[in-house]
């Protein structure tokens, strides 16, 4: 049994990309009704799958499904040297046929840490804070651009921007404390972990 995707060799279960016959019943968005799929939507999904099949970086695995073109599942292991390097993190994706790609996909994070958040961007209730998803502020290419943004860009962003060596500093208001001494931090009025945008008053 390989300990990580990089150790898997030719094991088909650990190939970076694959298409399964059916979406698992455990998929977070399984009960979302796909409805009628337009040609433009199916063409875009075909394009997304081709990109994923050829371009996934190490330690990111994506599974698509023959029976549900609107769903994907992703497993990400963080980069070496980060707190995320030695554990797999599971995400479910929903590409709504009514709005995708005009709007970004929905993404759900499976937390296994109980009530403790492992990152300011990943909530125990499954919420993912990321500009590309439209769940956090961002400018220009940080946000979803219908014609050019892709699922590949999204999963790489999670690995590269969220699963970093010092996740503490991805919390708004904390980034300015980077490099401060312990004594300075004691005097700095740092806010508590912020709520996601949809929960703010």
Torsion angle, alpha carbons of 118, 28, 154, 6, to 10:
70
CB 110 within 8 A of CB 128: no
| Residue 63: partners with Cβ closer than 8 Å, 6 or more residues away | 17, 18, 19, 20, 72, 73, 74
Residue 41 neighbours by CB distance under 10 Å:
20
- Residues with a known catalytic role: 129
Number of residues that this document lists for the chain? 201
List helix spans (H) across 30-114.
Answer: 39-55
Cα–Cα distance, 86 to 95 (Å, whole number): 29
CB 68 within 8 A of CB 34: yes
């Amino acid at each position: 049994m390989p300990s990580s995707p990089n150790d898997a060799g030719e094991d088909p279960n650990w190939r970076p990309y694959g298409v399964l016959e059916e979406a698992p019943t455990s998929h977070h968005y399984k009960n979302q009704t796909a409805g009628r799929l337009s040609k433009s939507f199916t063409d875009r999904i075909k394009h997304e799958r081709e990109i994923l099949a050829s371009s996934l970086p190490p330690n990111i695995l994506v599974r698509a499904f023959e029976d549900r073109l609107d769903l994907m599942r992703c497993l990400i292991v963080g980069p070496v040297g980060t707190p995320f390097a030695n554990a797999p993190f599971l995400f479910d994706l929903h590409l709504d046929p009514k709005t995708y790609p005009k709007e970004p996909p929905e993404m759900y994070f499976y937390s296994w840490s109980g009530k403790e958040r492992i990152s300011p961007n990943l909530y125990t209730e499954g919420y993912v804070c990321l500009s590309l998803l439209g769940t956090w502020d961002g400018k220009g290419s940080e946000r979803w651009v219908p014609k050019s943004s892709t699922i590949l860009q999204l999963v790489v962003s999670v690995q590269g921007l969220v699963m970093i060596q010092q996740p503490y500093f991805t919390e708004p208001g904390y980034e300015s404390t980077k490099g401060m001494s312990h004594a300075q931090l004691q005097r700095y009025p740092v806010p508590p972990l912020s709520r996601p945008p949809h929960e703010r008053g």
